[in-house]
Amino acid sequence: MIVRQIIRSIGPILIVLLLASCSSRQSLFVVLPNADGSSGAVTIETPQKSVLLDKPYAAGEVRSGVAAPVQVDQAQVQQIFGNALAAQPVLPSHFVLYFEKDSDVLTPASKRQYESVFDDIKRRPVYEVEVIGHTDTMGTQAHNQQLSMSRAEMIRDRLVHDGINPKSISVAGRGSLDEAVKTADQVAEPRNRRVEITVR
Amino acid sequence: MKFTNRFWHTAECFAFILAMLAVAGSTAYADNSQVAQIKTVSGQAEIVRNGARAAAKIGDPLYEKDTIETGADGSIGITFIDNTVMSGGPNSQIVLEDYKFNSSDFKGSMLTDMNRGTVSMISGDIARSTPGAMKVKTPTAILAVRGTSFVIEVKP
């Protein structure tokens, strides 16, 4: 009689435990903090349920095809993902160098900044460099197209002169199409006289 | 008469060849557009492209539809042309299922199949400029990414 009662009371618990052990974790998702400590968000979408993860170390898992939030700590992340994280490439860098008016000569501050572009490229085992030239809205479109290209080519030539592989550098000129600061036509704007350099 | 026949035959051949070249040209263009570059390799890591398998090497280009596979001691790190960064741990299989990127307006789309193993990703220009355009598919779920760093483990 007592035995039957015990079975009756713990039976459902046993079934739940059995089900839980049957449905093992199929996948795990964790949001990591960005370099500045902030984070974006991801949504785990499964047919029955979606789970939003929008904080650093917010985590979710899928069991039996259903998503659910789950707790993980930094140590667990390191244990599971340590190898993948260690294989992460050097992150891409972005630089902006500025030019004198209607010229492909760098401003004094940007001449110094060029050195950090060069150093950033050199610390990478393998690299790709994108150089995109821009102008302000002074002058004709044709002239600005030409000027933006000369600015990009000047940087490329300087990098090649300093030993960077020309095959790994791409250049483009965008004229005054992509202003950093929106202005009317025929406005001299130092912040628009620039090249944008991406190193990855 | 004979001349005309031959002329038309030649013209037809010529048109056919031109058409074939156009098709081959457009295909070659799609195949030739590099979407990522291999930046780090450790242990056993291979790229499967059109059924052919080759060891992954630092500096090699990757293309849409490439499959990345790592062995028990393997890992690999790659950077996409939109500056998305991805790295895979051991015993992983990752397929670059869809990748489109326009470097002028930074818009595009990206679907990665994460079939097994571990992967770490930091989203780039595609996720920033095109909401909802970056997705990762696992065998049981789809991950929609809004500008962030994240990791995924998929059990075999």
Q: Are A115 and A124 in contact (CB under 8 A)?
A: no
Single-letter amino acid code for the residue at A142: A
Residue A44 lies in a domain: yes
Q: Which domain holds residue A52?
A: 25-86
Residue A168 lies in a domain: yes
Rg of chain A over all Cα atoms, to the nearest angstrom:
28
Helix (H) or strand (E) holding B138: none
Segments of chain B with pLDDT less than 70: 1-32
Helix (H) or strand (E) holding A124: none
B-chain residue closest to A81, CA distance: B118
Residue A11 lies in a domain: no
Single-letter amino acid code for the residue at A115: E
Higher pLDDT: A197 or B103? It is A197
A97 and A163: one domain? yes
pLDDT value for B5:
52
- Angstrom distance (rounded) from CA B49 to CA B89: 20
Residues A13-41, mean pLDDT to the nearest whole number: 77
A100 and A190: one domain? yes
Q: Using a CB-CB distance cutoff of 8 angstroms, which residues of chain A are in contact with residue B122? A: 34, 88, 91
Q: Which of A88, A174, A178 to mutate to test the interface with B (most CBs of B within 10 A)?
A: A88
User: Which of A34, A57, A86 is the C-terminal boundary of a domain?
Assistant: A86
Residue A7 lies in a domain: no
Establish if A58 touches chain B: CB-CB under 8 angstroms: no
User: Which of A86, A114, A130 is the C-terminal boundary of a domain?
Assistant: A86
User: Which of A86, A113, A134 is the C-terminal boundary of a domain?
Assistant: A86
- For residue A21, pLDDT over 60 is answered with no
A168 and A193: one domain? yes
Reported as a single tens digit per residue, the pLDDT across A45-85 is 999 999 999 999 999 999 999 999 999 999 999 999 999 99
* Full-model pTM: 0.84
A146 and A113: one domain? yes
- Residue B59 Cα, gap to closest chain A Cα (Å): 6
- Residue A80 Cα, gap to closest chain B Cα (Å): 8
Q: Are A146 and A172 in contact (CB under 8 A)?
A: no
| Percentage of chain A lying above the pLDDT 90 cut | 84
| Percentage of chain A lying above the pLDDT 70 cut | 89
Q: How many domains does chain A contain in total?
A: 2
pLDDT value for A35:
80
Contacts of B43 (CB under 8 A, 6+ apart): B70, B71, B72, B73, B74, B75, B90
Reported as a single tens digit per residue, the pLDDT across A137-189 is 999 999 999 999 999 999 999 999 999 999 999 999 999 999 999 999 999 99
- Angstrom distance (rounded) from CA B32 to CA A23: 44
The residue to which tokens 């790592």 are assigned: B70
C-alpha A86: how far from chain center: 17
pLDDT value for A6:
56
pLDDT value for B131:
85
pLDDT value for B32:
65
The residue to which tokens 């450790």 are assigned: B42
Q: Are A168 and A127 in contact (CB under 8 A)?
A: yes
Single-letter amino acid code for the residue at A101: K
A102 and A124: one domain? yes
B89/A81 CB distance under 8 A: yes
A61 and A155: one domain? no
A51 and A114: one domain? no
Q: Which CATH number covers residue A188?
A: 3.30.1330.60
A105 and A161: one domain? yes
- Residue A27 Cα, gap to closest chain B Cα (Å): 4
pLDDT value for A112:
96
Q: Which of B88, B127, B146 sits opposite A87 (nearest CB)?
A: B88
How much is the mean pLDDT over chain A? 92
**Angle ∠(A156,A161,A164) on CA atoms, nearest 5:** 70
Within 10 angstroms of residue A180's Cβ, the number of other Cβ atoms is: 16
